[in-house]
Amino acid sequence: MEDCIFCKIIKGEIPAAKVYEDEWVFAFLDLSQVTPGHTLVIPKDHRQDIFDYEDDLAAEVFRRVPRIAKAIKEAFPEAQGMNIAMNNGPLAYQSVFHSHIHLLPRYSEEDGFAMTFTNNQDKYSQAEFKQRAEKIGQAIKLKEDGDEEI
């Protein structure tokens, strides 16, 4: 895509602090550096978000995430953990519309990154949970029966 900042980084038109590259992915330090070592892993083939992935691309991209995460942990042994995040769509806080996975080393509870979830467990019945699970399962089965990718 012509005006995609990440595509320009892949092509070398915009400088980036590259940490890894192969035929499938490009990984580089996020300019924001929410925490030291904050790395983005992107597919070299422009995809807007996870919904644009085929099975083969997903397998190749996500196969590399543990390797890069382990390298970050080795480079920053003081990190106590790591968040791995992927935002898909504006409502999910995606700001660059070239799919990317954030690898965020964690050093302390006050290191500049926070992630919280509201527990709505008491708002829904077991029947509602079961209905939601069945709905998703049916969508998966429809794709499998139609030989389409999910």
Map out the domains of the chain as residue ranges. 5-115
Nearest partner of 102 among 52, 34, 54, judged by Cα: 34
pLDDT above 70: residue 148: no
> Mind listing the pLDDT tens digit for each residue in 109-119?
999 898 888 99
Q: Which residues are catalytically annotated?
A: 100
pLDDT digit string, tens, across residues 25-77: 999 999 999 999 999 999 999 999 999 999 999 999 999 999 999 999 999 99
Q: Which pLDDT does position 147 carry in this prediction?
A: 57
Range 126-140 average pLDDT:
93
User: At the fourth CATH level, which superfamily is domain 5-115?
Assistant: HIT-like (3.30.428.10)
What value does the mean pLDDT of the chain take?
Answer: 94
In the predicted structure, residue 9 carries a pLDDT above the cut 80:
yes
